[in-house]
Amino acid sequence: MTATEKAPQAATGQTTRVYRIYIKATPQTIWDAITKSEWTEKYGYGGRSEITLTPGGLYKGYASDAMKAMGVPDVAVEGQILEVDPPRKLVQTWHPVWDPGVTAEPPTRLTWEIEEEYGVSRLTVTHELAGAPIAEAMVAGEVPNAGGGWVMVLSDLKTLLETGKSFAG
Amino acid sequence: MIGPVTDDDRVFKALAHPTRRFLLDRLFARDGRTLTELESEVAMTRFGVMKHLRVLERAGLVVVRRSGREKRHFLNPVPIRQIHDRWIDKYQERHVSALTALKAELEEKHT
């Protein structure tokens, strides 16, 4: 771990948010669902995505049509891939750029971990949000009319992978 | 039908204790606390707090992350949301639809 990777929030933990969900699906299925556009447009905020799965590769999370109708630009979130270990671990920066306020905040750091236990996969999302209070409120689902954040996204992902249907149907 | 112990059972059981709800409230106020920090807020031995944290962890309500030499405890809101979706939404929906039906019926009589 380099000095730049060791963000101050990792030391205090006060602006880190952790979300964990158990999903009856293989780690590979979950990996595909978080890294492939044909999956990311089916749950959560429902946007396409573009990820180059190598360290240094770029991440782009596109706005869905519903988000665009609300004035969100084509690319809603930008980022860079930091660590790739399929289908177990993905570390990336995550920088929302859908409005000037949140764009002015520093990029956040997002870690996806998938572990298998007794035929069930455990997905843990750790979001380090130091210095990014607007992004933090959004991903915590605390901003009115801005969706339910990670809890909604992960619940929807679970529903999609276990039943084939997402909240949107 | 009543099956084996489910995730929901663990969550309800974990929430059914005032100390554990208090610990969750402390983490809600400020996430990522260490055992020592949590212990200082409860009139209880370190071992007692550890026991409660383990119940919360098994229910998925608390996720423990290692940060250097420290173990930090994070509130995981996902299981509560799932219980909300499965139980509370269901009854609220019925409640709302019953009221909607009543309103329709009353309005019909009225006209």
* pLDDT tens per residue, range A62-75: 999 988 988 889 99
Residue A165 pLDDT exceeds 50: yes
CA distances from B93 to A93, B61, B69, B86, B98 (A): 39, 26, 47, 11, 8
Same domain, B60 and B102: no
Same domain, B82 and B70: no
State the ipTM, two decimals: 0.78
Same domain, B33 and B2: yes
A57 found inside a domain: yes
Same domain, B46 and B99: no
Give dist(CA B28, CA B13) in Å, integer: 19
> Rounded to an integer, what is the distance from CA B55 to the centroid of its chain?
12
Residue A6 pLDDT exceeds 60: no
């204790």: which residue's tokens? Answer: B17
Same domain, B46 and B60: yes
Confidence tier at B107 by pLDDT (50, 70, 90)? confident
A52 found inside a domain: yes
Give dist(CA B50, CA B85) in Å, integer: 30
CATH number for the domain harbouring residue A115:
3.30.530.20
pLDDT at B91: 74
Of B32, B77, B82, the CB nearest to A14: B32
Give me the domain span that covers residue A101: 16-162
Give dist(CA B63, CA B56) in Å, integer: 9
Instruction: Report A:32-51 residues touching B (Cβ under 8 A).
Output: none
Chosen from B67, B78, B83 to mutate, greatest number of chain A CBs within 10 A:
B78
A2 found inside a domain: no
> Is A86 touching B (CB cutoff 8 A)?
no
Give me the domain span that covers residue B88: 77-111
Same domain, B68 and B92: no
pLDDT digits (tens, 9 = 90+) for A26-82: 999 999 999 999 999 999 999 999 999 999 999 999 999 988 988 889 999 999 999
pLDDT, chain B, mean: 87
Residue B101 pLDDT exceeds 80: no
Same domain, B41 and B54: yes
pLDDT digits (tens, 9 = 90+) for B15-32: 999 999 999 999 999 999
> Which range in A12-21, A26-35, B60-69, B101-110 is most confidently predicted, on average pLDDT?
A26-35
What's the gap in Å between the CA of B32 and the closest CA on chain A? 5
Same domain, B69 and B107: no
Give dist(CA B87, CA B72) in Å, integer: 30
Q: For residue A21, which residues of chain B lie inside 8 Å, CB to CB?
A: 78
Of B7, B30, B81, the CB nearest to A14: B30
Give dist(CA A51, CA A92) in Å, integer: 10
User: For residue B73, which of B48, B102, B29, B38 has the smallest C-alpha distance?
Assistant: B38
Same domain, B91 and B69: no
pLDDT digits (tens, 9 = 90+) for A125-160: 999 999 999 999 999 988 877 778 999 999 999 999
Residue B1 pLDDT exceeds 50: no
A6 found inside a domain: no
CATH number for the domain harbouring residue B29:
1.10.10.10
Q: Do A16 and B68 touch (CB under 8 A)?
A: no
Same domain, B5 and B38: yes
What's the gap in Å between the CA of A26 and the closest CA on chain B? 19
Confidence tier at A116 by pLDDT (50, 70, 90)? very high
**What is the number of domains present in chain A?**
1
Same domain, B10 and B63: yes
Same domain, B69 and B82: no
Rounded average pLDDT over B85-107:
74
**What is the number of domains present in chain B?**
2
